[in-house]
Structures are given as structure tokens and as C-alpha cells.
Amino acid sequence: MSEHQCSLCHIGLEGVTVQRGGQKLLQDVSMHIHCGQLTVLIGQNGAGKTTLIRALLGEIPYTGSIRHVDAAGRDIPHVRIGYVPQQLLFDREMPVTVEDFLAAAFTRRPVWTGVSRKTRHQVLDALETVEAVPLLKRQLGRCSGGELQRVLLALALHPAPDLLVLDEPVSGVDQNGLNMFLDTVLRLKETHHMAILLVSHDLSLVRAYADHVALLDKSVLCQGRPDEVFAAEAFTAVFGQGEEGSPWKRFMP
């Protein structure tokens, strides 16, 4: 992937509310997602995490405001957003290689006509970014969970985004795949200074990797550094008490 300097300073959500069928799925959500930081969204199932992501992606209507702001405080009308879903649903028996899959996304030319030299270079560049070049000729359906998520990450990073959204991308991935995926994400955060929003149920992962944590239950109950959020009364109310009465104790190594 070519070198990309993010133009964002932060993404600011103010009073974001989503209502459907008379039911409020989100209520007055306010938070900032800063560049150069890994912001992690936590909460129980049904807390509105996926709804918030869909609002950020512009897929559903909302009230309130979502502002993309540069370092000078000016609004940026358009930002590039990369998205990695929890899983990719497809027929694993399809004779499609990783190269075919990425090439189809990078060009309008049908892949059955062949992959051009330019497109192959783009595919290799994308895979190199996520340290997955050996997967080039692997059939997509033969990739492990961790390998497939790195392929999806390569796709999300082309072109280089200002905001990278990761919706539980390592759910069900083995420990080796998890470590490789997260190490790649952290490297991207440092080298490209991009804003990254991760949804995760793995609170040990949150403690180890997050710069900023927001606890969601329709609205933001608390936010801050991981240790601050894990020690908050709202965290205890949502996730329960840990050993010796401290919710933090459950997620210490």
C-alpha cells in the first residue's frame, strides 16, 4: 500500500440517535474517534454497537451529527472508510483464489479474462501490507479464519482509509491468527496515523490493545482509558463483579 498521511484529526459524534419502528436503537451517543488511536467499542449484545457502525458508514439514517474534522477544526466533506466485517459469507467450494477475490475488487475487468500486471501489483501490494503475500494463490475457501480476516483487511485498506472500522474481526480466530491480525492493525495505526474503531467482546484484548474505550448500552455509559472504564461503576453494572469485588480482576493476565 502506498504511503498515506491521514487528513483527519478526529471523527466527532454528537447526540447521535437512531430510531426504528418507534424504538430507539441509539440514544444521544457522543464520542470522539481520534487519528493515531485504537478506539474500542464494548457492550453486551443488543447494546447498539452494530447500529453505531452502520450510522458511521452512512447505511442508516440518524439524528445528531457525525463530523469529520481536520487538525484546524474544519469539516472534511468526504473521508475514506475501510470496513472489515465479522465474517465473510460465501461458498467455500468456489474455485476463487485470494488473487481473484482482490483483483475483482480492484478492477472492473472480469477476472476470468485474466489479471493484468497492474492489478496483480496492486494485489501484491495490498497483501504485503498485511503480511499475507503467501496467500496469493490460495483458494479463498481454504484460508483459515485468521488468514481470511487478513485478506479482508487488505481489501479494506485499498485505497488507504482515513477511518478503519473493524466489527469483531477476530471472533473465532485462533490465538496465532489473532496476534498477527492485531499486530498488523497496530502497525498501521502507527505508520499511517489512521483512526481505527474496533468492536470487540474480548475484554482481555481490549485491555491489552485499546487506547480509548467506550462502553455502549444504547448510549455511551462511560469512556476513557481501559483502566478507567474497567474500574467504572457502569462497567460493573453491565459485566458484573469479578474476583475480590473488582470487575478488572477478571481480565488481568
Residue with cell 457502525: 53
For residue 111, the model assigns a pLDDT of: 63
Q: Are 34 and 9 in contact (CB under 8 A)?
A: yes
Q: Are 84 and 156 in contact (CB under 8 A)?
A: yes
Residue 108 has pLDDT above 90, yes or no: no
Cα separation, 153 vs 98, whole angstroms: 12
| Joined grid coordinates for residue 197 | 474503531
C-alpha triplet 9, 171, 4: angle, nearest 5°:
30
For residue 170, the model assigns a pLDDT of: 73
| Residue 171 C-alpha from the chain's centroid | 12
The contacts of residue 213 (CB under 8 Å, 6+ apart) are: 39, 40, 42, 206, 223, 224, 225, 226, 228, 229, 230
Give the rounded percent of residues in the chain with a pLDDT score beyond 90: 50
Cα separation, 235 vs 207, whole angstroms: 13
Q: Are 224 and 213 in contact (CB under 8 A)?
A: yes
| Residue 238 C-alpha from the chain's centroid | 23
Considering only CA atoms, give the Rg of the chain. Answer: 19
> What is the SS3 string spanning 27-67?
EEEEEEEECCCEEEEECCCCCCHHHHHHHHCCCCCCEEEEE
Q: Which of 228, 234, 230, 225 is nearest to 242 (CA)?
A: 230
Return the bridge partners of 10, or none.
34, 69
Residue 65 has pLDDT above 60, yes or no: yes
Residue 81 has pLDDT above 60, yes or no: yes
pTM (2 decimals)? 0.84
For residue 39, the model assigns a pLDDT of: 96
For residue 3, the model assigns a pLDDT of: 47
Residue 244 has pLDDT above 50, yes or no: no
Residue 7 banded pLDDT, cuts 50, 70, 90: low
CA 238 vs CA 42, 44, 233: distances in Å: 10, 7, 9
For residue 112, the model assigns a pLDDT of: 66
Residue 1 has pLDDT above 80, yes or no: no
The contacts of residue 101 (CB under 8 Å, 6+ apart) are: 140, 151, 155
